[in-house]
Amino acid sequence: MHAMSDPAASRPLLAIETSCDDTACAILAYDGTILAEGVLSQNDHAILGGVVPEIAARAHLDALPALVQSVLDKAALTLQDIDTFAGTTGPGLIGGLIVGSSYAKGLALALGRPFIAVNHIEGHVLTARLPSLKADLQFPFLTMLVSGGHCQCISVEQTGQYVRLGGTIDDAAGEAFDKVAKMLGLGWPGGPALEKLAQEGRADAFALPRPLKGRDGCDFSFSGLKTAVSRLIEPLGSGALPRQFAADVAASFQQAVADVMADRAEHALAMAPNATALVVAGGVAANRTLRCALETVADRHGIPFIAPPLRLCTDNAVMIGWAALERLHAGEHPNEIDVAARPRWPLAERHPAHSPS
């Protein structure tokens, strides 16, 4: 085994994330220090206009061996140095989950090390507590999870104790961004392209609806907003849209989503008055307009607003490794080698079902 001067680094954990179309691996020291990380994004899906699960699963299988070795090399470690393995076990696309978690389990079995099954959402929720972010984030806090597949308000009480205050009743915010971007001829993934186009437009150009704004609770609905955008575009036919018109639509849509998110955050904080901070997580958390809207809400309530850096907002293995370490730090000693991957795994269910014997 390699000699390591830092005692915290002598118990490194290797994590794998393959819940959608990004293949990710990371190695963290026991204290949460990031020793190495890597993410490979799959490009084939852009041509097809969305993620094709079978193609994603095969790509994960092809990419994992070299990616794991690359991350080990960056950390100047060998597999024998790894103390614990972790892998995303749900929720997500089942093919990718099986590939990634099985790969991590195989390494754990071969080396006689424990395996920790990690909930993908829990990874996002706990990212802001990474020591490297120096946020000194204490429980309880409120997380707004905003991604392509998830849109939830979660009160984070303790590691493993989460209260879902509200969630989407139709499209997630990221899904709505992608669909509107497609209407505007921007391709996939649509969120970053729509945000860039919106910079050329006026956010008040079109009076779009703010679904559920002002309603009790903190559920979300973006289907009506998406339909309103479709009706705006429909009279122009199927050809290319005028650039300024498309930019105004993008800016107006983006502002509508930000207004809804800010309103839902206000309601969520009323439901969780002891929250020490407002955290935003998930891929859509990279959107500057959304961040500004939520930061304003946090300022109004006199609590910190925390947004992890972009690479830790999108799917990554650092968050999976940290979620596993949080459980170890809490005194748990899990070895979940027989836990089955599952496409749905509510955060309230602390432990997923075990594989049938």
Among 48-57, 173-182, 273-282, which is the least confidently predicted range? Answer: 48-57
- Domain 137-307 belongs to what topology? Nucleotidyltransferase; domain 5 (3.30.420)
pTM to 2 decimals?
A: 0.92
Binding-site annotation: residue ranges: 120, 124, 145-149, 178, 191, 195, 287, 315
As a whole number of angstroms, the distance between CA 16 and CA 27 comes to 9
The residues, any chain, with a CB within 8 Å of residue 224's CB and separated by 6 or more, are 209, 211
Asked if residues 254 and 286 have their Cβ atoms less than 8 Å apart, the reply is: no
Averaged over 86-111, what is the pLDDT?
97
Taking only the tens place, the pLDDT of each residue in 250-281 is: 999 999 999 999 999 999 999 999 999 999 99
Averaged over 99-114, what is the pLDDT?
98
pLDDT at 85 over 80: yes
The residue among 58 and 147 whose pLDDT is bigger is 58
User: What does the pLDDT read at residue 66?
Assistant: 97
As a whole number of angstroms, the distance between CA 184 and CA 39 comes to 29
Share of the chain above pLDDT 90, in %: 82
Q: How confident is the model at residue 158 (pLDDT cuts 50, 70, 90)?
A: very high
User: What does the pLDDT read at residue 44?
Assistant: 58
pLDDT at 249 over 80: yes
Taking only the tens place, the pLDDT of each residue in 196-210 is: 999 999 999 999 999
CA dihedral 171, 172, 178, 179 (to 10 degrees): 10
Burial group, residue 123, by CB count within 10 angstroms (0-12, 13-18, 19+): buried
As a whole number of angstroms, the distance between CA 36 and CA 353 comes to 31
Is 110 strand, coil or helix? helix
The H-assigned helical ranges of the chain are 44-48, 53-74, 94-111, 120-126, 173-183, 190-198, 223-233, 243-271, 288-301, 310-313, 317-329
Q: Cα-flanking dihedrals φ and ψ of residue 352, to 5°? A: -70, 165
Strands 115-119 and 141-146, by their bridges, are unpaired
Asked if residues 233 and 183 have their Cβ atoms less than 8 Å apart, the reply is: yes
pLDDT at 322 over 90: yes
State the Cα angle at 144 between 307 and 271, rounded to 5°. Answer: 125
User: What does the pLDDT read at residue 50?
Assistant: 62
Binding-site annotation: residue ranges for Fe cation: 120, 124, 315
Token pair 């990380």 in the structure block, residue: 37
Asked if residues 103 and 87 have their Cβ atoms less than 8 Å apart, the reply is: yes
Taking only the tens place, the pLDDT of each residue in 288-321 is: 999 999 999 999 999 999 999 989 998 999 999 9
Token pair 């071969």 in the structure block, residue: 110
Q: State both tokens at 9.
A: 């680094």
User: What does the pLDDT read at residue 84?
Assistant: 98
As a whole number of angstroms, the distance between CA 222 and CA 209 comes to 9
As a whole number of angstroms, the distance between CA 16 and CA 262 comes to 33
Asked if residues 52 and 60 have their Cβ atoms less than 8 Å apart, the reply is: no
Architecture of domain 7-126+313-329: 2-Layer Sandwich (3.30)
pLDDT at 356 over 50: no
- Helices 223-233 and 243-271 pack at an angle, to 10 degrees, of 170
Q: How confident is the model at residue 357 (pLDDT cuts 50, 70, 90)?
A: very low
Q: Cα-flanking dihedrals φ and ψ of residue 75, to 5°? A: -85, -5
CATH 3.30.420.40 domain span(s) along the chain: 7-126+313-329, 137-307
Binding-site annotation: residue ranges for substrate: 145-149, 178, 191, 195, 287
Instruction: Strands of 8-150 (E only): list them.
Output: 13-17, 22-28, 34-41, 84-90, 115-119, 141-146
User: What does the pLDDT read at residue 244?
Assistant: 98
The order of strands in the sheet holding 278-281 is: 161-167, 151-158, 141-146, 278-281, 305-306
Token pair 């990371």 in the structure block, residue: 26
User: What does the pLDDT read at residue 189?
Assistant: 78
pLDDT at 140 over 50: yes
Question: What length does the chain have?
Answer: 357
User: What does the pLDDT read at residue 2?
Assistant: 45
**Residue 248, CA distances (Å) to 114, 199, 243, 356 in order:** 53, 9, 9, 53
As a whole number of angstroms, the distance between CA 80 and CA 113 comes to 10
Strand partners, 26: 15, 37
pLDDT at 334 over 50: yes
Averaged over 82-86, what is the pLDDT?
98
